[in-house]
Amino acid sequence: MPGYRGLYVPGPTNMPFRVRQAMDIALEDHRAPDFPQFVLPLLADLKKVFQTKTGYVLVFPGSGTGGWESAIANTLSPNDTVLASVFGQFSLLWVDLCQRFGLKVDAIPVDWGKGVPLDQYRAKLAADKQHTIKAVLVTHNETATGVTSDVAGVRRILDDLGHPALLFADGVSSIASIDFRMEEWGVDVAVAGSQKGFMLPTGLAIVCVSEKALKANETAALPRCFFDYKDMLKANAQGYFPYTPAATLLRGLRVSVDMLLEEGLANVFARHHLLASAVRAAVAAWGLRICAHGPEWYSNTVTAVMAPEGFDANDIIRTAYNRFDLSLGGGLNKLAGKVFRIGHLGWLNEIMVLQALGGVELAMHEVGIKFEPGSGVGAAVYHLSKAGEATRIAAE
């Protein structure tokens, strides 16, 4: 079918033309004398996206999973205990990674639709008088369920109890889209990926580490090589990398960061909140419910929509793709066939969200779901128009 395919999975996200053009260049010498003039300002500006002044940003070829592995391998030792919670596919996979490294994982099971259980974290940490828990894992935004957790709340617990555990945050589907404050929240390792809020192709694990994490690195005994923080920091200090970097992606990342800072992070976060709210208004108008169990868990980057009783969400997803050139995210693990996911993050505006919602309506109507055609799109239009009117009044 002519025209663009609609990409509304929760990653990879739509890539701006500016970013694409920045990467459409001849390959370059990553050992050139002037390469540091490009690298050093980029690393400095990435710190602004993580909202830190004292942290260090490391960029590895890889994905968010590589970022998880770097956090574990660089700061912990065999048989160390980590505290985690499992409430979706990605929090589950991070626990699996820790277990494969031979760590002892105290993984709290949580209903898929809720997030990090602060009360249970507090109880576990308060009972840990010997401070055997060396790290606490927080999946800031669980992409599988469309749930955002309170990273700052976990930091408050650690501080209240005087517990020295490191705080790790998976911000793959939140950083550069949802407010994330590395410094203020006392995060020790934050993990992001290039293919979501940074609006790039998959291929970069973007990690920010604190001074405390680097101190832990000095005694950590887990094996590491490719993801070694010391090697990366030593080379980065001179504006280079310890091995061949993904230079073409770095050129795109430079423009991505420029775009984020030009818009202003506060505006980026407000835009994502507005568009997510419009999607949730549409779901409510369809008479459907979302996976997140309440407003306190709502994600501003992805909404997991529960298929109606008697319908397979995969039928909606296949119909959207095959008939209407619309890519939606599928349900993962125990949610397979039960939800379809609408990604609304990255390079996105009101018109693009309405396109996604219109495509969902076409697919749902095709598979026989009963709803009033146009109701979701109309609810989103009303929500966006009302928000625009309020903005204009405030400006006046």
The residue ranges of DSSP E strands in the chain, in sequence order, are: 6-8, 56-62, 81-86, 104-109, 133-139, 141-142, 147-148, 166-170, 189-193, 203-209, 302-306, 326-330, 339-343
Closest CA to 121 of 154, 151, 87, 89: 154
Strand order across the beta sheet in which 104-109 lies: 56-62, 203-209, 189-193, 166-170, 133-139, 81-86, 104-109
Closest CA to 172 of 263, 246, 94, 239: 94
pTM: 0.95
What pLDDT score does 102 carry? 96
What pLDDT score does 391 carry? 54
pLDDT in tens, 191-240: 999 999 999 999 999 999 999 999 999 999 999 999 999 999 999 999 99
Beta bridge partners of 138: 169
C-alpha–C-alpha distance, residues 328 and 322, integer Å:
11
* Residue 282 near residue 355 (C-beta atoms within 8 A): no
Domains, the chain:
6-12+264-395 (3.90.1150.10), 17-262 (3.40.640.10)
| CA-to-CA dists, residue 97 to 49, 90, 154, 374, angstroms | 27, 11, 21, 44
Query: In the predicted model, what is the mean pLDDT of residues 369-391?
Result: 89
C-alpha–C-alpha distance, residues 251 and 194, integer Å:
12
Q: What is the 3-state secondary structure (H, E, C) of 155-218?
A: HHHHHHHCCCCEEEEECCCCCCCCCCCCCCCCCCEEEEECCCCCCCCCEEEEEEECHHHHHHHC
Residue found under tokens 């809020």: 197
pLDDT in tens, 95-113: 999 999 999 999 999 999 9
pLDDT in tens, 153-173: 999 999 999 999 999 999 999
pLDDT at 390 over 80: no
Lowest mean pLDDT, pick from 156-160, 321-325, 333-337, 383-387: 383-387
Average pLDDT, the chain: 96
What pLDDT score does 47 carry? 98
Closest CA to 105 of 72, 127, 75: 72
Those residues with Cβ within 8 angstroms of residue 203's Cβ, 6 or more apart along the chain or in another chain: 61, 62, 63, 194, 195, 246, 249
